[in-house]
A = this chain, B = another copy of it.
Amino acid sequence: MPRSGPTSPTTEQLADRLHSTAIHLLRLVRVQDSAAGIGPAQLSAMSVIVFGGPMSLNDLARAEQVKPPTMSRIVDALEAAGLARRRVNPADRRALVIAATKKGTALLHEGRKRRVKFLARYLERLSASELAALERALLSIQKAIR
């Protein structure tokens, strides 16, 4: 077994800390998200149709890793709140086109701004070189889990 000093943790130790850090980070920002006035599943679904554009219920469910009945109810709530709209797809009348309303788009952008500003205040504690390492690490993770 090759030598492995305290400066180079195993991949598994790294994975464990990555997981734990992700949990703590999201727990931290969750408080900000609750200010949007809608639940986390609704917020996340809004994010998909705002940034990914209008799509069918099945596609939206897949994007959120949820079954269609669950997404159907989430869209019910979004429609009731005036944040999204169901339309029948004229090209396939079984399918829907679910799109964000103006109100929904605005709400999402405000929430995102609030959350990002909140997180950014924490990141400002870091040095320029720490931020550079973070930047690089994020690219790596995104590449790895693709």
Query: Is B131 a contact of A14 with CB atoms below 8 Å?
Result: yes
**How many residues on A have C-beta within 8 angstroms of the other chain's C-beta atoms?**
48
Which secondary structure dominates chain A's binding surface?
A: helix
A80 within 8 A of B: no
Query: Is B14 a contact of A135 with CB atoms below 8 Å?
Result: yes
Copies of this chain present in the complex amount to 2
Query: Is A112 a contact of B21 with CB atoms below 8 Å?
Result: no
Residues of B within 8 A of A29 (CB): 19
Given A116-B15, A137-B134 in contact, is the A26-B27 Cβ separation under 8 Å? no
Q: Which of A83-91, A97-105, A117-125 contacts B (4 or more CB under 8 A)?
A: A117-125
Please give the residue numbers on chain A whose beta carbons come within 8 Å of chain B beta carbons, in ascending order: 8-9, 11-12, 14-19, 21-30, 44, 65, 112, 115-117, 119-120, 122-126, 130-138, 140-145
5 A-B residue pairs with CB within 8 Å? A14-B135, A16-B119, A25-B145, A125-B143, A134-B137
